[in-house]
Amino acid sequence: MSDNARCPVIVVVPARNEEACIAEVVRGILAVPGVEVMVVDDASDDETAARARGAGAGVLSLTLRLGAWGALQTGMRYAQENGYGVVVSMDGDGQHDPADIPMLLAPVQAGEADVVIGACVERGSLLRRFAWWLFRRVSGLRIRDLTSGFRAYGPRCVELLASSAATLLDYQDMGVLLLLQNAGLTIVERRVQMCPRASGHSRVFHTWRAVASYMALSLVLSATRTTYGSRVRGLVRSRGGRGQS
């Protein structure tokens, strides 16, 4: 049995102004055997924290808005400090089906992958597909769904993503994937279905201006991946992890 199979699992849900659906998301997660849930409330202006807590989640309430990645990293650090070796990330808007959590966990718990992405390429709009195409070209990542926030992370990922090396990532999707690839960690995908958002819109793909900013940052991150990757791989190896090119 892989050591990962014995690691406690926590589902981290970064959420901002998700009072309309966060309770249902939490109840769905708690119906999955063997997992706990922590909602990281990213300085919401509504009742997100209260409704998450009322549904049975632990809640970390941020007084300053950190953004999607800052909130998720807060959850990663909580997991590491409290003995959770495996973290599942989910959005708080109801897009992700908690019933898919065991499928994403299986390769991580078997020691076959460091991170498993819940991929749904059918959801790609024209803006999203264009950004994905460009990012794959410049980054070398062979991932179909680059922006899914539905992922299972193993212990080496949790340690790396909770560290200072990951602190200044902007977009959690591309920044995290590049960091993990540069560290030599194993990334796989599993096909999932995603529901329409209960409220709000994509933080990246709702305007051409947002896409342009996303792609500009992609180019910068990808251009620096070689030298930065060497440093990160050294960090992972020094902590006793297994590398994979």
The pTM (predicted TM-score) of the whole model is: 0.83
What is the per-residue pLDDT for 213?
Answer: 67
d(CA 150, CA 120): 10
Instruction: Encode pLDDT of 31-66 as tens digits.
Output: 999 999 999 999 999 999 999 999 999 999 999 999
3-class SS shares of the chain: helix, strand, coil, % to 5: 45, 15, 35
pLDDT surpasses 60 at 241: no
Q: Spell out the domains of the chain, with CATH numbers in brackets.
A: 3-238 (3.90.550.10)
Instruction: Encode pLDDT of 62-89 as tens digits.
Output: 999 998 889 999 999 999 999 999 999 9
Q: What stretches of 102-180 adopt beta strand conformation (E)?
A: 115-119, 151-153
All residues at 6 or more sequence positions from 138 whose CB lies less than 8 Å from its CB, including other chains: 218, 219, 222, 223
Reported as a pLDDT band with limits 50, 70 and 90, residue 242 is very low
Asked whether the CA dihedral 135, 234, 186, 197 is positive or negative, the reply is negative
Instruction: Encode pLDDT of 153-210 as tens digits.
Output: 999 999 999 998 888 765 557 778 888 988 999 999 999 998 655 555 455 555 666 6
d(CA 79, CA 196): 29
All residues at 6 or more sequence positions from 242 whose CB lies less than 8 Å from its CB, including other chains: none
Number of C-beta neighbours around residue 208 at 10 A: 10
pLDDT surpasses 50 at 243: no
3-class DSSP state of 225: helix
What is the per-residue pLDDT for 32?
Answer: 98
**Cα–Cα–Cα angle for 111, 112, 116, nearest 5°?**
105
* Residue carrying structure tokens 């989640």: 57
Instruction: Encode pLDDT of 86-111 as tens digits.
Output: 999 999 999 999 999 999 999 999 99
d(CA 36, CA 57): 8
What is the per-residue pLDDT for 82?
Answer: 98
d(CA 168, CA 98): 29
188 close to 116: Cβ distance less than 8 angstroms: yes
d(CA 173, CA 151): 10
173 close to 148: Cβ distance less than 8 angstroms: yes
**More confident: 237 or 5:** 5
Q: Which of 225, 72, 230 is nearest to 151 (CA)?
A: 72
22 close to 48: Cβ distance less than 8 angstroms: yes
